[in-house]
Structure 1
Amino acid sequence: MLTPEQIEGFRLAAGRLIDPINTYLLKNIARRIQDAGKLTSTAAYEAWRAEWLGKDRKELERDLAQLLGVTRGEARKLLRTAARYGYDTTLSRYPGHLIPFDANPATQQIVSAAVALAGDGLKNITQTKAIMLMDPYGQYQTLPKAYMACTDYAFQQVFTGAADYNTAIRRACSGIVKHGVSVAYASGVHTGLEAAVRRNIMGGLGLMTEQISQQNHDALGCNGWEISAHANSAPDHEPIQGLQYSDAAYEALNNSLVRRIGTLNCGHVASPIILGVTRPQYTAAELEQFRQDNEKGVTFEGRHYTGYEATQMQRRMERAIRAQKRRVLLAGPEDAAPRKSRLVLLQQEYRSFSDGVGLRTEDERLEVSGFGPKQMKQLLLEKPASSTVLTPEVIKPPEPPELPDPPKSPAPPELPKPERFTDITGNWYPDAKPNSHPVLELQEYTFNGVTYKVDGHNVVLDHDAHEKEIAELLEREVGGELYLVPRVNEPQGVPTPDFLFHGARYDLKTLRGNSKNTIYNAVAKQADQADNFILDVTDCPLSEEDIYKQAEALFRSTHTKFIDTVVLVRNMKIIRVLQRNK
């Protein structure tokens, strides 16, 4: 069947199918938000708004429907191409024993059924009414409502003087920048459009591959399976790769795996074999060399990476670059220069890391529709923005003010009440090693003694891009076992955190409010969900002093006694960690 390299190529292609839609929507709404912020009277804005609700909205929906139709057509082609590649690979191993792909009606029936099934799912998640964007208030909205909420916000902020033009644009776009274009499922769950399409196509491809393999297995009179092998394997699959198994042994093995062969980003495939006749593709010595090379890994800038960990770090850096390119596409006039500078820096870090660990760069993974090699070349020729926007000092909390000399009065000062928390910034999980573990998706979650296993419907893994970025930040700056926790849709009422980090429950809250109870309101009723919280304050308009005061107050309130640790994040940097005194 398909090789690991082919599977990865199809996975990459599946994700890229949605790029034109992502870029069209992001650039379109960014332009409209910027236009709204430039209007100087309510009358002018109302006229502009009416035009959007009429002709412009119909134009948007027409263009989007056309793009979605092209995407569905390309998805069908991709699945059929994958089926042909996989079938031909097996055919080459057993010449003269299998009917050619185009002449095999049973195979064609399997492919047609898989394409139809995937197509139905793709149609459901790529309807205009299913596509959502996050408004400035942190709520997912359908396209028309999101457009109106974002443009209303930008106009009102500038017109009332609550914010300058560039700040208003930045705040209006903040939810879209972080979460991108999303899809709403009937269950109420939201996930990124790219991830939803990729999951749909790869799920169909996996099912189709499995059925064709089983058909070939039976047609050839096979009685076993061989799992493919590749360098830098994930640790859970490395011990079993490259080996041959009887039918019963393979079924038992696959059922015991958290990540079944060929699913959940697994790059392995199983091919039908005749035990004792089919020669293994890899010798025991070659498999052992794979293992040793992976374990030996490489050291870069003082940190050791296994071969697998190095590839995972590459994937994280590639995702960060793609996300930054979208930020550049959405940037307002004053934000464009620093965001471009940040993109150049990320590109440099990516190439430096790849060269340092001996991995080739994969420019195809960095591509974003609307931001190709031409735009990147032009960006590199531009005069860089002030480097101060990238220096760590800018995004670190300010140094505490110098304390005055103690009073010389002989009377002893009144002793303050002992604090109920300790600032452990820089000493959070002190024994952990940064980048020591890959970020993994948890396949089951236990609550009140009941275990809920991922099934793609009742229990799902649907973390958005920002949640994954925060997970990677924790692994990059702190390190340790980190799992993305699945969400339970059915039965309703099962609370789940976003992460399990060092075995503890952590939930992510992105703050945008400016009231005196912003932080309290975000966490006060979450006792069943988590007892540790990561608060992203990047887009919070509160002053740093007010943010710190509100975070500290959580440890003094009787209503939030359940909270153990609070982590403050700004601009993808951990700026403060507070922990309750035991």
Structure 2
Amino acid sequence: MASKKEKPDKERMGLVAERIWRGAELRIMEDVVRRIKKAGEITSTADYQINRLIEMGRSREEVERIIKESLDATWSEMFEMYDKVAEWEYVRNQEVYEQITDEFIAPEDNEWLIQLTEAIRKQTQDTMVNLSQSCGFSVMMGGRRVFTPFAEYYQKYVDTAIQDVVTGATDYNSAVRKVVTQMTNSGLRVVDYASGHTNRADVAARRAVLTGVNQITAQISEHNAEKLGTDQFEVSWHPCARPDHQTWQGKVFSKEELRTVCGYGSVTGLCGANCRHSFDPFIPGISERLYPDDWLEEQNKREAQTKEWNGKQLNAYEQTQQQRKMETAMRAQRQKIRLLEEAGADKDDIMLEKAKYQGQLNEYKQFSKKMGLVEQRERIYQDGLGRIAPVKTTYKFQNKAETSQMYRPIQRSQESIDVKIKEDFEVKTRKVLSYSGDVYISDNATIKPRALHQINKNTEEAIKQWGIPSDRKPKIVIVSPDEMPTAYGKYDAIQNTVFYIPQIADKKIVENQGDIEYHEMWHMKQAENFRSQKGKITKENHREYIQSACKDAKKVIDKAGISKYNVNKVSEYAERMYRLGRYDEVEAEYMTTYRRKRHGN
């Protein structure tokens, strides 16, 4: 019976096409790397020039062969899936047919159905063939993105890399890193339209498949409705639909309303590009709605609820889009690692890229858990590259100097958030995923893992010494000296955030390591005292907090016997702050000096 047939997985069809095209993309990029690697062994510039002409011809043939093999692999699988979709969509209304009419022609005997399937097969295959003829790479030239055919890309960029290696202008590893980064950041691309709109080849493959499936299901539904004598259709429903589709999914419409309300027939509407909705004949008095209005309203309210991620509020649809974005970034990173391995690049470079990938995986896991989404790692691993992430505790480097710099590899999040240093000045930062607390690094700051480890450790030790609970640890933000030119550190009581520049971990700059962190955490101690009495520190009561801190600090200063006549026994900075009435700074400096004496410095 038709009702026992298993519904075809349309989404899987698109993923299969994507996987095949990604395989083609990787094989082409591996070919580029192989040629650079080979060129690295050439010692004569003249020999290189001759070989380049020969290799160029082979390169074009190789790319054409890879694309042809990919098309054959894609469509041999896709044709079988099309047949399954067509048959399932056609026979699902068999029982209704038998109730309304007595006519039901088996799929294999229905000439109309056979012709429809063949026509759409041909249409979508031709689209893919045309797209494949324009395959190229996108690269940045003069600050704008330019799409070049593969041969041209090879000539302009790989050629330059080879010449640099042969002539000694750069080392092999640097040349490989540059080209691999260019390729994985851009990906194999296609130019779809005269307007210049572009899509990756794998996205174009998935779109072509889903477009074909949508056309089959839509035309079968219209045909069945005509045979059943109804002008009504029920549109399907699925979770996390795009906002403009959510308004009409799951409801019943006339044929005209499918076009005017749902956008049927347009690229962005029902059954358009990347749309997963379908519609089925609905016969009033016989058919029952699958999605009642009250149920739809409840689902819409639930999906409208937002959850916070890196300072942004995301609804259900935005959460799934962010998850797809993360998966795409990880697939690109996996490609990059594999290409560096194929090229025999420096092992430490490869290990750092693997550490970055591990950070992406960790962020993906954290995001999915916080959003309540099921991880779809099959989307990441379908490239067939196997295990990429490093095994824990296997970071090995060539000498002790490198080992001392590593500590815990810095793994930054993909998403950036804005953090205020001053009221009128924000910096873009990314969270460090390899630390349990809130540790962020400005996009403009550079810091070695060892230095970050030391700053984080010193901050934790300082709050412990001042009796601050560990769960009150402030957010740590590492910024560049250009972003905070007047101080080594700064505690913001309103945000409970401490800002440091990376240079405080350098003994040549801060002789007594930990002093800056100790100083800033004393300010946090002052803030905690105020919070225990007055509550949260806000923009409105910040002045009151400063006055209160100064008042309490002066008591400590007087008790310690520090006056305006001997304050310079602490430091010139403390004397200047004393004259300005900033007793909280004097007290913090005094506490830092006390720490030095306590530790015998």
TM-score by length of 2: 0.59
Match 1:250 to one of 258, 264, 269:
258
Alignment length (residue pairs): 403
Q: Give 3-state SS (helix, strand or coil) of 1:191's partner.
A: strand
Q: Which runs of 5+ in 1 are unaligned?
A: 397-421, 429-433, 435-476, 478-543, 546-582
Quote the Cα distance in structure 2 between the aligned partners of 1:30 and 1:195: 24
Aligned-residue Cα RMSD (Å) equals 3.9
For residues 85-484 of structure 1, the aligned pairs below 5 Å read 85-91=88-94, 98-127=104-133, 130-134=134-138, 139-184=146-191, 187=194, 189=196, 190-255=198-263, 259-299=268-308, 304-331=313-340, 332=343, 333-334=345-346, 335-372=349-386, 375-376=387-388, 379-380=390-391, 383-384=394-395, 386=406, 390-391=410-411, 425-426=426-427
Shift of the 153–287 alpha-carbon distance from structure 1 to 2, 3 Å rule, reads same
Aligned to 2:450: none
Aligned-pair distance for 1:182? Answer: 1.9
Quote the Cα distance in structure 2 between the aligned partners of 1:62 and 1:171: 26
Q: Give 3-state SS (helix, strand or coil) of 2:290's partner.
A: coil
Cα distance per residue 1:46-91 (max 9 Å; x no partner): 3542552466664554454333332333333343333233334444
Q: Which amino acid aligns with 2:172?
A: Y
Quote the Cα distance in structure 2 between the aligned partners of 1:389 and 1:31: 29
Q: Give 3-state SS (helix, strand or coil) of 1:426's partner.
A: strand
Shift of the 20–85 alpha-carbon distance from structure 1 to 2, 3 Å rule, reads farther
Q: Which amino acid aligns with 1:259?
A: T
Aligned-pair distance for 1:216? Answer: 1.0
Q: Give 3-state SS (helix, strand or coil) of 1:124's partner.
A: helix
Quote the Cα distance in structure 2 between the aligned partners of 1:186 and 1:244: 35
For residues 73-84 of structure 1, the aligned pairs below 5 Å read 73-84=76-87
Aligned to 2:534: none
Q: Which amino acid aligns with 1:227?
A: V
Aligned to 2:485: none
The structure in which a higher percent of residues are helix is 2
TM-score by length of 1: 0.60
Q: Which amino acid aligns with 2:259?
A: E
Cα distance per residue 1:426-466 (max 9 Å; x no partner): 399xxxxx9xxxxxxxxxxxxxxxxxxxxxxxxxxxxxxxx
Shift of the 391–59 alpha-carbon distance from structure 1 to 2, 3 Å rule, reads closer
Contact 1:17-1:75 within 8 A present in 2 as well: no
Cα distance per residue 1:14-62 (max 9 Å; x no partner): 3233122112112221222233244343144235425524666645544
Cα distance per residue 1:312-343 (max 9 Å; x no partner): 22111111111211222222513322222111
Shift of the 251–68 alpha-carbon distance from structure 1 to 2, 3 Å rule, reads closer
Q: Give 3-state SS (helix, strand or coil) of 1:236's partner.
A: helix
Shift of the 132–238 alpha-carbon distance from structure 1 to 2, 3 Å rule, reads closer
Shift of the 4–99 alpha-carbon distance from structure 1 to 2, 3 Å rule, reads closer
Q: Which amino acid aligns with 2:122?
A: A
Shift of the 165–55 alpha-carbon distance from structure 1 to 2, 3 Å rule, reads closer
Quote the Cα distance in structure 2 between the aligned partners of 1:185 and 1:311: 26
Report the identity percentage: 26
Aligned-pair distance for 1:263? Answer: 1.7
Aligned-pair distance for 1:225? Answer: 0.8
Q: Give 3-state SS (helix, strand or coil) of 1:265's partner.
A: coil
Q: In terms of Rg, which structure is larger?
A: 2
Aligned-pair distance for 1:203? Answer: 2.3
Contact 1:136-1:171 within 8 A present in 2 as well: no
Shift of the 203–391 alpha-carbon distance from structure 1 to 2, 3 Å rule, reads closer
Q: Which amino acid aligns with 1:169?
A: V
Aligned to 1:563: none
Aligned-pair distance for 1:280? Answer: 0.3
More relative contact order, 1 or 2 (CA 8 Å, 6+ apart): 1
